Amino acid sequence: MLKVQRLATEESRLNNGATLLYTPIETAPRLAFSLFLPGGNLLDTVPGLSDMVDRLLMKGTQSRTQEQISVEIDGLTLEVDSDTKRDYTAIHATMLEEDLDASFELIADFFHHATFAEFEREKQKVSGEVMMDLDSPKSRASDQFIRGIFQGTPYGTVGSEILEALPLLESVEQLRGYYHSVFNPKNLIVSVAGNIRPEKVARTLETFFPNSDRESGSVSPALESRIRSLNLTQPELVTFARDDSSQAHIYKGWLMPDNRHEDYAPIALLNTILGAAGLSSRLFLELRDKQGLAYNVRSSYEAFRYKGLFSLYIGTEPKNKEKCLKGFIEEVDKLINIPVSETELADAKRNILGRRSVFLETAHQQANYIGANYTLGRSLDEIALVPEQLQAVTPADIQRVAQKYLAQPALVSIVGPSKIL
């Protein structure tokens, strides 16, 4: 059995309402922070609003221009960036302990006082970037797949939807409304990994993120219920013609439960067996090696706070479209009807747990992993138990989740020459 690293994370509640997750790593050369703000696309009043706030966050404050922010970052041991996802916005930073206060004074400035001064210019940039991305047939196939399977909920916020909604983002005030409700110290989940006393971190966070009386944004029960109840009642097909494409790009996917569901571990291992293990996965061996159908083939499993998604992807010559779709069906049917061997399952466990160990080698990766999972609803105990849950999965569990989920209706997205659609 593969020995798995157990993360010794401590949880505490700060005076400003924030949650601190501290993971000691004595050998880490720098401190790693991930500051999570629950919400992300879920709190968009206009699709892409949270993404626009994220893009403009570090481009100027009431006391600093974008150039001044860049100069200060260069003068510190600070590396900082932000990103917005379906369930949250996160600010990631690494620094030396000696720069802790100076770094957080700067981070707190754009956390509290961003001006969004480049709003109109950024809208134009977003429009151009999205159109360029959608010019890629593969990106177009992914875009219509995600948008279709999440059926008009914020989890389906993709480039095409943002592009359509840009005219509805008419003023900076729309951004400020979201910003002031989400960027609130009471919302903060701060995950830090490194060699520092947690009391020092707590004092720093309480100093630069003082308690706020502002009301915090939260996901409405109605939206949560709507996402959880998403369901495909019949197979669906969405297509987009690209006669200039030399390939057909095919996605096929099923809705899955959220990341805290009891089926998370067997679904994750099913994904590893089917298409996420690279050269040793079934899709790669069968559709690429044996049949020569694929330039690229894989499966993917993403589990979010309120829902999950399991998908297959293949890029192939257009003439092979039907063979690939048949191949997907045959490989899924094998999982549904034939139990995997103990040997194949053991290999999958070594693969997924080995990749997990490599992924968690750095302080930055540990801070991000723990903070993201906590923000998605897992307790620290639940996060720590994931390796044990994976180790406990049996061949019967793999077959059970295949029968439960992959026998359900799926959505297929295809982009390629019009003659094959």
Residues 313 and 344 in one domain: yes
CATH classification of the domain holding 90: 3.30.830.10
Residues 109 and 257 in one domain: no
User: What are the percentages of helix, strand and coil residues in the chain, rounded to 5?
Assistant: 50, 20, 30
Residues 359 and 393 in one domain: yes
Residues 270 and 416 in one domain: yes
d(CA 102, CA 78): 9
Share of the chain above pLDDT 70, in %: 99
Q: What are phi and psi of 367, to 5 degrees?
A: -60, -45
Mean of the per-residue pLDDT values of the chain: 95
Residues 213 and 312 in one domain: no
Give 339-343 contacts, CB < 8 A, sequence gap 24+: 339/395, 339/396, 339/398, 339/399, 340/273, 340/395, 340/398, 340/399, 341/395, 342/395
Q: Which two tokens stand for residue 20?
A: 């601190």
Residue 275, in any domain of the structure: yes
Residue 403, in any domain of the structure: yes
Residues 178 and 237 in one domain: no
- Residue ending a domain, choose from 164, 190, 217: 217
- Whole-model pTM: value is 0.94
Residues 154 and 255 in one domain: no
**Domain of 274?**
231-420
pLDDT recorded at residue 248: 96
Residue 222, in any domain of the structure: no
d(CA 8, CA 54): 31
Residues 253 and 316 in one domain: yes
Residue 368, in any domain of the structure: yes
**Segments of the chain scoring below 50 in pLDDT:** none
Residue 378, in any domain of the structure: yes
Residues 132 and 245 in one domain: no
Residues 160 and 40 in one domain: yes
Query: Which CA distances in Å does 94 have to 129, 363, 368?
Result: 28, 9, 11
pLDDT recorded at residue 277: 87
- Residue ending a domain, choose from 217, 239, 259: 217
pLDDT recorded at residue 160: 97
Determine which helix (DSSP H) or strand (DSSP E) holds 133, and give its type and residue range: helix 119-134
pLDDT recorded at residue 6: 67
Residue 181, in any domain of the structure: yes
- Residue ending a domain, choose from 155, 184, 217: 217
pLDDT recorded at residue 357: 87
Domain count, the chain: 2
